[in-house]
Amino acid sequence: MFFYTIRRLLSSILVLIVSSLIVFGLCVASFNPLEPFFLRQPQPPPEVFAALREQYRLDDPFFVRYWDWLTGVLTLDFGESNAGTPVGPVLIERLGVTARMVVAAMVLAILLAIVVGVLTAVRQYKPEDYFFTFLTYVLIALPTFWFAALLKEFVAIQFNELVGQRILFTLGEQSPAIEITGSSSEIFWDRAGHLVLPTISLAMLSFAAWSRFQRASMLDVLGSDYMRLARAKGLPWRHALVRHGLRNALIPLTTVVALGVGLIMGGAVITETVFVWHGMGEYLIASINADDLNPVLGWLMIAAFFVIAFNLIADLLYAVLDPRIRLS
């Protein structure tokens, strides 16, 4: 198990390094810091361009630039944006904001997927099964931003009116200046109120896909020999279901969840745009529109890091949960 872990860890680091090379190449080819200056009227004289090329070191060979950037990243220095502000601290701060939404959405999606997947598998072909199957079909076919806008425009207002108080918020990740004026419990509840709708809209797509997968996995387990033996030897249904069935059915879900991280990150960008959160998504879109090289590089590296990290965790978790993998 130990050597398996070490092997997977080394392999992941290698993938991360090669991925950084590809990401760097892609971004350098896509973003030219001089772009905004070309569009200025009147165009600045050639000396300005030469000075800018010096400043951004655009004339250095590709691998020199790559090495400079990579050594910076390894010391957590992501360079500066075109305007001169350091990228690192901004990324970290916005990562915290986005992480709230992403983590909450993943937890919600996993819990719901397990509950609904098991329910529809155990009650196959009954009305609950048909209802949830229909629901998941619809959720998979729904554009995320349309659903988020639907929640934003209709659920939030109706719910707030129903309760009589402003509980659900639709704009931003917290009320302005609450960090200055509010106590820590006020800040917490304010943030929670802002978190509800984005989390729901982000979680729905993943929940739908994962619950269908969990249903199929549970059906496989329910039809297996060891389940039949557990019932035959007299175990109560619930006991057999949870202790023997569920434990086995959850294992494939770990892989599916790990592979879904990339999709959730993409969904987070959309959800942040709909709910106007000042997180990673907004930062990425703004930086791409401004042809800003370093922020986009930092963003993509952090995204790649999390995707690779989640894949590694999934592999290790799979080995922990399924002894057959560990011992092979």
Site residues for other proteins per CB under 8 A: 15-16, 18-19, 22-23, 26-27, 29-30, 137-138, 140-146, 149-150, 152-154, 262-263, 265-267, 269-270, 273-274, 284-285, 288-289, 296, 299-300, 303-304, 307-308
In the block, tokens 């350098």 appear at 28
CB of 223 to other proteins, least distance (A): 11
Task: Encode 262-293: b = buried (16+ Cβ within 10 Å), e = exposed.
Answer: eebbebbbbbbbbbebebbbbbbeebeebebb
Nearest CB to other proteins, comparing residues 121 and 265: 265
Determine the Cα–Cα distance for residues 310 and 69; give it in Å rounded to an integer. 24
CB of 184 to other proteins, least distance (A): 33
The DSSP secondary-structure symbol of 233 reads T
CB of 124 to other proteins, least distance (A): 10
Nearest CB to other proteins, comparing residues 46 and 223: 223
Nearest CB to other proteins, comparing residues 34 and 304: 304
Nearest CB to other proteins, comparing residues 116 and 250: 116
Q: ω into residue 45 within 30 of 0, thus cis?
A: no
CB of 240 to other proteins, least distance (A): 23
CB of 314 to other proteins, least distance (A): 14
Whole-Å CA distances, 241 to 157, 184, 215? 41, 43, 14
Nearest CB to other proteins, comparing residues 235 and 270: 270
- CA-angle at 143, arms to 217 and 273, nearest 5°: 115
Determine the Cα–Cα distance for residues 295 and 302; give it in Å rounded to an integer. 11
CB of 217 to other proteins, least distance (A): 16
Among 197, 175, 195, residue whose Cα is nearest residue 186: 175
Helix (H) or strand (E) holding 328: none
Nearest CB to other proteins, comparing residues 155 and 251: 155
